[in-house]
């Protein structure tokens, strides 16, 4: 049986809001400005976990 890591590979917008502690308006604003990169899977918008880490790193250097 294969075990799945508890670490997520990508986050939905709602999950991202929860993880970052930001509202949907702010998250969509950051996406629109190109500061958070997204992927599309059908109609779903996903944010890779690596992008979340990179976004937080960029915030730390500002």
Separation CA 9–CA 30 (nearest Å) = 20
Q: Distance between CA 20 and CA 48 in Å, rounded?
A: 13
Listed by start position, the domains of the chain span: 10-60
Q: What is the pLDDT of residues 9-48, one digit of tens each?
A: 999 999 999 999 999 999 999 999 999 999 999 999 999 9
At 4 the pLDDT is 47
60 three-class SS = helix
């Amino acid at each position: 049986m294969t075990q799945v890591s508890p670490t997520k590979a990508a986050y939905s917008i709602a999950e991202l809001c929860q993880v970052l502690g930001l509202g949907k308006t702010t998250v969509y604003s950051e996406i629109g400005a190109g500061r958070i990169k997204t992927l599309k899977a059908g109609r779903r918008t996903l944010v890779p976990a690596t992008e979340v880490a990179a976004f937080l790193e960029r915030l730390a250097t500002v």
